[in-house]
């Protein structure tokens, strides 16, 4: 689909910067894959600095529209933004290379760290490191809850939706995908009633692209062709794995993480309760402490936070048949988790300008984000029970450590990776003292 690359308007691209060659862009995407620490905010800032400010590869307006579109989609917005910029620069091959390079380094590192956790998690030093990060992870989740909630829950209806989502998952056992879909439908219904109460992001002025056909038949044809191609690309390796290595645990891995990929509105924190519940309670791949360890590792590795799914997939294979199945399951998990992101970018990129003019899309995103606040609160409760409670009651040392970590994160003086490192040091210190 290189033939559908959108040319950058003269007003959009810096006049003194030439478009990069594919090799130049590829070198940058590989570099970004190895250095994209700091979560989506930091990763987006890196691309803003390099692709817009320093190199002038893409204009500020196009960058923001790509970011806004990515935020409307399920999946990791920073990875999707990288894929979109790659598409703007070099079409299909640019999209695939940029989106893949953003993932691979973190995936490989996560597999190595998951092996350490699975094979050596009972070793005294490793156990102490993981024990120390447990209260920090709780603080990180509450920090994310505060940051997202303060923006998303800015009306009584939004607050009510967040509370309803928490109650539905916590007490009603409503599946996470149902909560997300219900919130999105509510947002669209309210938008049709001209009641845009959820504030689904900034709506910048956009420019029409006369080279793109908005005829319904053409839009449906493009989405259908790209969807069929994506299904084919995904089905072949999944079928091979199932035929060669059997159903257990790969069928469950494919089903769980494919579903998760389509409902990860609001970022990794939103879908983590769904993945954690399935991995811990439904399939028994991990224990709650092992799930906490996975989130801590994902916070300190490059790439999107949703790579925590790679860790869960590794444990699925490890508990089933050891290291060989673990690596295969981790790779398969990563593949099915990120494949839909490429579908959304390749199929939808030409229509970005028009989509952001739609009130229903912005309102649906806002409603989903409000519901996600309740979902993240449920995640905080889930991890809090595992990290701060014991058979003897409240683990007061961990509780105090979690409060201190939260205060430091809120101050803005300590970033998440450093906070995780401090937590690991805390664990070693406590083992030495006690």
Question: Which pLDDT score, from 0 to 100, does residue 200 have?
Answer: 47
Question: Which pLDDT score, from 0 to 100, does residue 192 have?
Answer: 67
Query: Does residue 113 fall inside a structural domain?
Result: no
Instruction: Report the chain's mean pLDDT, rounded to a whole number.
Output: 82
39 and 184: one domain? no
388 and 264: one domain? yes
Given a contact cutoff of 8 angstroms between Cβ atoms, the answer to whether 74 and 265 are in contact is yes
Question: Which pLDDT score, from 0 to 100, does residue 201 have?
Answer: 45
161 and 266: one domain? yes
Question: Which pLDDT score, from 0 to 100, does residue 225 have?
Answer: 93
Query: Does residue 423 fall inside a structural domain?
Result: yes
Using one digit for the tens of pLDDT, what is the confidence trace for 88-101?
899 899 999 999 99
Query: Does residue 161 fall inside a structural domain?
Result: yes
Given a contact cutoff of 8 angstroms between Cβ atoms, the answer to whether 85 and 102 are in contact is no
The residue among 179, 182, 186, 201 whose CA lies nearest residue 376 is 179
- Token pair listed for 344: 């959304």
Question: Which pLDDT score, from 0 to 100, does residue 208 have?
Answer: 44
Mean pLDDT check: name the lowest of 11-20, 70-79, 97-106, 108-117.
Answer: 11-20
Query: What burial class does residue 60 get, using C-beta atoms within 10 Å of its C-beta: 0-12 exposed, 13-18 middle, 19+ buried?
Result: middle
Q: Reduce the secondary structure of 346-410 to three states and give it as a string.
A: HHHHHHHHHHCCCHHHHHHHHHHHHHHHHHHHHHHHHHHHHHHEECCEECHHHHHHHHHHHHHHH
Question: Which pLDDT score, from 0 to 100, does residue 149 have?
Answer: 81
Name the residue with higher pLDDT: 234 or 216. Answer: 234
Domain span at residue 248 reads: 124-206+230-337+355-433
Given a contact cutoff of 8 angstroms between Cβ atoms, the answer to whether 13 and 21 are in contact is no
Confidence of residue 205 (pLDDT cuts 50, 70, 90): very low
Q: Which residue has the tokens 């994310």?
A: 144
Q: How far apart are CA 165 and CA 375, in angstroms?
A: 6
Backbone angles phi, psi at 109, to 5 degrees: -65, -40
Q: How far apart are CA 310 and CA 327, in angstroms?
A: 9
Largest Cα separation within the chain, whole Å, is 70
Query: Does residue 111 fall inside a structural domain?
Result: no
For residue 8, give Cα distances in angstroms to 177, 238, 347.
37, 38, 19
Among 70-74, 166-170, 329-333, the range of highest mean pLDDT:
329-333
Mean pLDDT check: name the lowest of 9-13, 362-366, 414-418.
Answer: 9-13
163 and 27: one domain? no
Which of 102, 137, 162 is a domain's end point?
A: 102
Confidence of residue 199 (pLDDT cuts 50, 70, 90): low
Question: Which pLDDT score, from 0 to 100, does residue 57 have?
Answer: 92
55 and 165: one domain? no
Question: Which pLDDT score, from 0 to 100, does residue 353 have?
Answer: 59
Residue 301 pLDDT > 50: yes
Query: Does residue 78 fall inside a structural domain?
Result: yes
Q: What is the Rg, in whole angstroms, of the alpha carbon atoms belonging to the chain?
A: 22
Query: Does residue 45 fall inside a structural domain?
Result: yes
Query: Does residue 346 fall inside a structural domain?
Result: no
- Token pair listed for 272: 């983590």
277 and 419: one domain? yes
178 and 97: one domain? no
65 and 157: one domain? no
CB count in 10 Å sphere of residue 237 = 15
Confidence of residue 151 (pLDDT cuts 50, 70, 90): confident
Q: The pTM is what? A: 0.75
78 and 175: one domain? no
Angle 423-31-422 (CA atoms, 0-180°, nearest 5)?
A: 5
Using one digit for the tens of pLDDT, what is the confidence trace for 71-81?
778 888 889 99
DSSP 74-133: SS-HHHHHHHHHHHHHHHHHHHHHHHHHTTHHHHHHHHHHHHHHHHHTTSHHHHHHHHHH
251 and 148: one domain? yes
Question: Which pLDDT score, from 0 to 100, does residue 27 have?
Answer: 95
Question: Which pLDDT score, from 0 to 100, does residue 206 have?
Answer: 42
55 and 160: one domain? no
15 and 98: one domain? yes
The structural domain count of the chain equals 2
Confidence of residue 371 (pLDDT cuts 50, 70, 90): confident
Query: Does residue 270 fall inside a structural domain?
Result: yes
The residue among 272, 97, 104 whose CA lies nearest residue 176 is 272
């Amino acid at each position: 689909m290189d033939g559908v690359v959108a040319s950058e308007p003269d007003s959009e691209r810096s006049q003194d910067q030439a478009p990069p060659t594919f090799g130049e862009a590829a070198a940058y995407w590989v570099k970004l894959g190895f250095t994209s620490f700091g979560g989506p905010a930091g990763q987006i800032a890196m691309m803003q600095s390099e692709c817009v400010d320093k190199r002038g590869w893409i204009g500020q307006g196009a960058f923001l529209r790509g970011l806004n579109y990515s935020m409307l989609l399920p999946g990791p917005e920073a990875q999707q933004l990288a894929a979109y910029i790659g598409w703007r620069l070099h079409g299909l091959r640019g999209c695939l290379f940029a989106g893949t390079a953003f993932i691979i380094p973190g995936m490989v590192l996560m597999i190595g760290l998951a092996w350490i956790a699975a094979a050596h998690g009972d070793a005294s030093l490793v156990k102490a490191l993981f024990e120390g990060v447990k209260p920090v992870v709780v603080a990180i989740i509450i920090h994310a809850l505060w940051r997202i909630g303060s923006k998303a829950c800015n009306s009584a209806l939004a607050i009510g939706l967040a509370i309803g989502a928490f109650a539905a998952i916590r007490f009603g056992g409503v599946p996470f995908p149902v909560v997300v879909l219900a919130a999105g439908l509510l947002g669209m219904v309210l938008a049709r009633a001209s009641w845009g109460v959820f504030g689904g992001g900034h709506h910048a002025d956009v420019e029409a692209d006369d080279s793109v056909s908005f005829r319904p038949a053409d839009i449906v044809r493009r989405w259908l062709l790209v969807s069929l191609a994506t299904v084919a690309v995904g089905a072949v390796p999944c079928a091979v794995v199932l035929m060669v290595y059997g159903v257990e645990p790969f069928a469950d891995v494919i089903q769980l993480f494919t579903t998760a990929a389509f409902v990860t509105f609001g970022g990794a924190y939103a879908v983590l309760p769904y993945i954690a519940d399935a991995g811990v309670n439904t399939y028994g791949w991990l224990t709650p402490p092992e799930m906490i360890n996975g989130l801590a590792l994902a916070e300190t590795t490059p790439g999107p936070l949703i790579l925590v799914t790679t860790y869960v997939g590794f444990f699925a294979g490890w508990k089933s048949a050891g290291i060989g199945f673990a690596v295969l399951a981790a790779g398969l998990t990563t593949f099915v988790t990120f494949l839909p992101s490429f579908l959304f970018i390749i199929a939808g990129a030409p229509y970005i300008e028009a989509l952001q003019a739609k009130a229903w899309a912005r309102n649906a995103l806002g409603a989903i984000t409000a519901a996600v606040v309740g979902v993240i609160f449920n995640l905080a409760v889930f991890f809090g029970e595992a990290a701060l409670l014991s058979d003897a009651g409240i683990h007061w040392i961990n509780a105090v450590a979690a409060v201190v970590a939260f205060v430091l994160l809120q101050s803005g003086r300590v970033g998440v990776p450093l906070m995780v490192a401090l937590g690991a040091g805390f664990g070693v210190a406590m083992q030495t003292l006690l």
